[in-house]
Structure 1
Amino acid sequence: MTAHIIAACRSAVVPRGGAFNALSIDALGAPVLRAALTQAGLESDQVDEVIVSNAIGGGGNPARLVSLAAGLPESIAGLSIDRQCAGGLDALLLAKAMIESGAADIVVAGGVESYSRRPQRLRTFADGGAPKAYDRPPFTPWPDRDPDMAVAANTLSTSLSITKDVQDAWAVDSHKKALNHTPTSVEMVVIEGQSRDPFSRKMTPALATRAKQVSGTITAANMAVAADGAAFCVVVSEKMLRALRCEGVEILGGATKGDTPELPGIAPIAAIKAALRKTGLRTNDIKCAEVMEAFAVQAIACVQGANLDPACVNLGGGALARGHPIGASGTINAVRLFHELRTQGGRGLAAIAAAGGIATAVILSA
């Protein structure tokens, strides 16, 4: 039994406080889910399950919210997952596992995140002290091994001797590729008038040099901005693929791996190598790759460490030129990869790092 993506689409990625500012996660995710089903030629009552990655929405069951808002039957319970940035790719691997086990024939899998509408968080204390606001949860039980993400990225740049100039050049190139890429109506679902990623710009080395410093070599130019966005893929069994008489992109395999918590940026290297082993492939079998750019240094380190060809990475630009809607970013990479493979054929890789030193990699084949 094999699993195939037959439709994949996304919203624009909009920096927080922008055009998606007023949209709840269900209002943002539902139109994208509906569009994916329409592209697949499926009716709502044919869907067996909906899997949604969400990292900062405050809990509950976002998959149920999005499913109901999209008009799917009340019989679909929805499955929500939180593996932070990696969740958008993990949703696809879960869909693959459900289909290969025979538990489902049609699964809609993806992610949605609204940085603009994320709830405020308060930490309570055992001594009865006043609750204190916090921005993110701990990613390890040891504070000394749980650095701020920008601090960790700067540590990575120092340990691997990846200079600020090299990081800035990567960011400039990401924006350039994004500006040269025009998303089709098949890839991009227009919401609030947004038909392309509005953050992409004519970034120059001079602009990157003047960008605000965040931590050491890490600046506002070479790290991704917080953003809102959604993406979904329709994953079907081989039996359903034949019944629908359509072409699909097979999910060959993937892996989620943990690595050093202090250096989360390099975790994708282990995940990529594991995914290649599972599928019996080598890096030179990969025709194109979508590698997350939460930080330029992280993308550079992963491309080098996994021995990927930089010329085949992020052909339409990456998150540096879009933004980072945490729970949706992995699926956005998969959507980009799906459409690249539909055009070019061959095998492709999507990979993403996540806080706490974990990462996921997925390999697709057209």
Structure 2
Amino acid sequence: MKRPRPAPAATGDTPVVVAARRTAIGTAGHAFKLVTADRLASAVIAALAGEVACLGEPVDDVVLGNCMGPGGNLARVSALGAGLDRSVPGVTIDRQCGSGLAAILIAGQAVRSGEMNVVIAGGTESASTAPVRAHRGGAPYERAPFAPAGHPDPDMGAAAEALGVERGVARDRQDRYACASHAKAVAAREAGGFDGEIVPVEGRGHDQRPRLLRPASLARLPAAFVPGGAVTAGNSAPNSDGAAAVAVVPERLRAGLPGLRLLAGAVVGCDPALPGWGPVPAVRRLLERTGVSMERIEAVEIVEAFAAQTLAVTDALGLDPLGADGERVCGDGGALALGHPWGASGAVVVTRLFARLVRGGAPPGTLGLATAAVGGGLGVAALFEVV
């Protein structure tokens, strides 16, 4: 029998992430090479719906980010595939690599407005099964434009190279950062640090990619995008498959569940020639709006698309991930080690914050930051607080 759907409150409430899950992440063409984006997402959505069933509230909507999927409304397809009621509509958004985080911000806005009580939000990507795109009657093309004619529209690898050069990020730092990301991820995996967040799909419950690397080995790799450049396959995140999502509810309904209060979010544009810079103005706007200093933030999760881009951003924000802030910034490794499923990565970093702070037992009031750069020149950021 279908449960009646109670009307949301007349006024909104502070949104709280009370559950966060993801699939393992597989390198494109390997672990999940035959698993479509909706199937990856459905597994995560079903797990989250089960976790929040104790609240006695039906899921109002599913918001999913996706970049390169088959089209259509993947969120609706995934919601039905997860067994949710047919009344759950679903909406799919595209902010490229920031899509998963942007979806969570949209869910937070719906809850804060009072229009919805329970929203599952995140992202999904299957680089392995993404369709080949072509204009009608024309040749296939790799990607849609990030910017129109007359504006810079670099590929992300070349853009990361340009940002690294502009901000003085040397090759050896990039390689050392990549090694550190892998080392942290291997240690977390061996300690069971990812077990509480991963929903097994096709029998795989562990990330495929993390492995111990040596700077000397990385130093021998050739430039991947610009002749003579510093950005290589070893210090770049690989194209990947995976999904991640969170459950967002108003604080008045969380029934004592621990979680992450969504304090504020920011989406900012920047120079499309240097899209990797986007997190800097986004985070700065977020901190200015909330009156929070970077020193107060205990955990930072950034989508590590490239070591050059990550270090340029952390340098600008006054963070030292290869020194004093090594455990603070991507403390269990990031996309360089785990992989980069584009539309999902922004939700992966929130799932990691949830694991590090909520499952890790951080005291109430602890602050966490999630951020991502976006092709075309955007930055997305969100500030959370443990409750």
TM over 0.5: same fold? yes
Tell me, in whole angstroms, the C-alpha distance in 1 between the residues paired with 2:153 and 2:355.
36
Does structure 1 conserve the Cα–Cα contact (< 8 Å) formed by 2:302 and 2:371?
yes
Tell me, in whole angstroms, the C-alpha distance in 2 between the residues paired with 1:34 and 1:51.
14
Q: Classify the secondary structure of the residue corresponding to 2:205.
A: coil
The correspondence for 1:262, drawn from 259, 267, 273, is 273
The correspondence for 1:25, drawn from 37, 50, 53, is 37
Displacement, 1:35? 1.1
Displacement, 1:186? 2.3
Does structure 2 conserve the Cα–Cα contact (< 8 Å) formed by 1:44 and 1:72?
no
The correspondence for 1:205, drawn from 198, 215, 225, is 215
**In percent, how many aligned pairs have the same letter?**
39
Tell me, in whole angstroms, the C-alpha distance in 1 between the residues paired with 2:214 and 2:202.
29
Aligned to 1:122: 134
Tell me, in whole angstroms, the C-alpha distance in 2 between the residues paired with 1:184 and 1:298.
25
Q: Does 1:328 align with 2:358?
A: no
Does structure 1 conserve the Cα–Cα contact (< 8 Å) formed by 2:55 and 2:253?
no
Q: Classify the secondary structure of the residue corresponding to 1:85.
A: helix
How do residues 155-166 of structure 1 correspond to structure 2 at under 5 angstroms?
155-166=162-173
Does structure 1 conserve the Cα–Cα contact (< 8 Å) formed by 2:243 and 2:344?
yes
Tell me, in whole angstroms, the C-alpha distance in 1 between the residues paired with 2:320 and 2:161.
24
Which residue identity lines up with residue 195 of structure 1 in the other structure? G
Displacement, 1:293? 0.8
Aligned to 1:289: 300
Q: Classify the secondary structure of the residue corresponding to 1:257.
A: strand
In the alignment, structure 1 segments of 5+ residues that lack a partner are 125-129
Q: CA RMSD in A?
A: 1.5
Q: Does 1:338 align with 2:354?
A: yes
Q: Classify the secondary structure of the residue corresponding to 2:381.
A: strand
Aligned to 1:248: 259
Tell me, in whole angstroms, the C-alpha distance in 2 between the residues paired with 1:353 and 1:207.
28
Does structure 1 conserve the Cα–Cα contact (< 8 Å) formed by 2:31 and 2:208?
no
Tell me, in whole angstroms, the C-alpha distance in 2 between the residues paired with 1:212 and 1:233.
39
Q: Does 1:229 align with 2:242?
A: yes
Q: Does 1:85 align with 2:97?
A: yes
Aligned pairs, how many? 359
Tell me, in whole angstroms, the C-alpha distance in 2 between the residues paired with 1:276 and 1:246.
27
Displacement, 1:45? 7.0
How do residues 297-336 of structure 1 correspond to structure 2 at under 5 angstroms?
297-310=308-321, 311=325, 312-336=328-352
How do residues 94-133 of structure 1 correspond to structure 2 at under 5 angstroms?
94-124=106-136, 130-133=137-140
Displacement, 1:259? 0.2
Which residue identity lines up with residue 282 of structure 1 in the other structure? S
Aligned to 2:6: none
Tell me, in whole angstroms, the C-alpha distance in 1 between the residues paired with 2:139 and 2:35.
27
The correspondence for 1:7, drawn from 16, 19, 24, is 19
Aligned to 1:127: none
- Greater than 6 Å deviation, 4+ residue runs: none
Does structure 2 conserve the Cα–Cα contact (< 8 Å) formed by 1:123 and 1:133?
yes
TM-score calculated relative to the size of structure 2: 0.90
Displacement, 1:155? 1.0
Tell me, in whole angstroms, the C-alpha distance in 2 between the residues paired with 1:92 and 1:165.
35
Displacement, 1:184? 4.0
Which residue identity lines up with residue 148 of structure 1 in the other structure? D
In the alignment, structure 2 segments of 5+ residues that lack a partner are 1-12
Does structure 1 conserve the Cα–Cα contact (< 8 Å) formed by 2:57 and 2:118?
no
Q: Classify the secondary structure of the residue corresponding to 2:96.
A: coil
The correspondence for 1:50, drawn from 41, 58, 62, is 62
Displacement, 1:195? 2.0
